[in-house]
Amino acid sequence: MPATAQRIDPLPRKRLVRENGPLYQQLVDELRNLIASGQVEVGSDLPKEAEIGERLGVSLITVRRALKELEDLGMVKKRSAKPALVTARAPTAPAGYRFGTYDDIVELNRGARLDVLSYGKERGVAIERHFGLPKGGHGYCLRAVMLTRNETRSLVTTFLPPDIGSQLTAEDFIDSIIFRNVVRRTGVRYLRALVTLRAAIATSSEAAILAMEPGNPVLRKEMVFLGERERTVQVSVIVAAAENAMLSYDFPLEETGLPDAG
């Protein structure tokens, strides 16, 4: 066996279960522990993706996502047609917040707390546009901050249409995942979310809340939640420091009509 090869033995023989959180995150934790403890040495290969998946009872998609997370942290290097190479025992890059599925939303908000600044009727062009209201029509607006370990992580502004917003009060927003509060109180169905990310600079008011200098880079995440018949039932705008956000894609290029090399 080559000196850099890594046997499957160090990995625990068990099945990961969704009840313990997102499967990919559990796998990230398992592999990080093995690398940090020295059971898998820097410079050696991790086991093959298929072996990892079979050992822990997860799909190749889950394995690849976990390896991408470790690569983003600087701990492994993924290679085409070869096992991932271990490059560091500890993260060499700051962890970002991955966002793309409901599990990601839950994981992102694990241990977080929502502090409500205000909630009530509000008018504005954005409210009229999103909810199809006549000029001067009012919706409802929640302004809050998201905290982790008592540190402000993001500024959250959420708009609701009048028929939904009127069923809620500020005291109803006890869950850090805002739409779960809405569903619990109103029963409205959420079917999908459209997410738009924009780079921006912090305004004076945003900077004061986020404890940064005005003009520092931030990422604005706009989430438009759609219900039955494609109706917009919630719009949330989340502003966070740019270093706390990460966007990544993983998509195949085989058989896509690319010209042959050479």
pLDDT digits (tens, 9 = 90+) for 217-232: 999 989 999 999 899 9
* 67 and 188 both lie in a single domain: no
Residue in this structure with the two tokens 């499957």, named with its chain if needed: 8
Mark whether 154 and 126 lie in a shared domain.
Answer: yes
3-state helix, strand, coil in the chain (%, to 5): 30, 30, 40
pLDDT-derived band at 148 (thresholds 50, 70, 90) equals confident
Which of 18-22, 25-29, 93-97 shows the highest mean pLDDT? 25-29
pLDDT > 90: percent of the chain: 52
Q: Does residue 127 sit in the same domain as residue 73?
A: no
Highest mean pLDDT among 19-33, 72-86, 116-130, 233-247: 116-130
- Claim to verify: residue 107 and residue 76 sit in the same structural domain: no
**Can you tell me the mean pLDDT for 156-160?**
97
Cα–Cα separations (whole angstroms), residue 151 to 75, 145, 146:
27, 10, 8
**Residue among 99, 70, 100, 98 at smallest CA distance from 84:** 70
Name the percent of the chain lying above pLDDT 70. 82
Domain span at 60: 18-86
List phi, psi (to 5°) of 15: -105, 125
Using left for φ > 0, alpha for ψ between -120 and 50, and beta otherwise, residue 97 falls in beta
What would the pLDDT profile of 195-223 be if each residue is shown by its tens digit?
888 999 999 999 999 989 999 999 998 99
- Do 136 and 193 lie in one domain? The reply is yes
pTM value is: 0.62
Name the domain count of the chain: 2
> What per-residue confidence (pLDDT) applies to 2?
42
Instruction: Report the distance separating Cα 193 and Cα 247, nearest Å.
Output: 16
Look at residue 97 and tell me if it is in a domain: no
Q: Does residue 11 lie within any of the structural domains?
A: no
With respect to residue 162, please indicate whether it lies within any of the assigned structural domains. Answer: yes
Residues 127 and 220 in one domain: yes
- Alpha-carbon torsion angle 108, 109, 112, 113, nearest 10: 140
Shared domain check, 163 and 57: no
* Domain CATH code at residue 60: 1.10.10.10
Same domain, 149 and 192: yes
Q: Which residues pair with 143 in a beta bridge?
A: 118, 157
Task: Decide if 31 is inside a domain.
Answer: yes
The residue out of 29, 52, 86 marking a domain boundary is 86
76 & 108 share domain: no
Please check whether residue 198 lies inside any domain of the structure.
yes
Q: Which residues contact 58 (CB under 8 A, 6 or more apart)?
A: 16, 23, 24, 27, 52
In a shared domain, residues 132 and 230 = yes
Helices (DSSP H) in the chain: which residue ranges?
Answer: 23-36, 49-56, 60-72, 102-108, 125-131, 162-165, 178-186, 204-210
The CATH number of residue 183's host domain is 3.40.1410.10
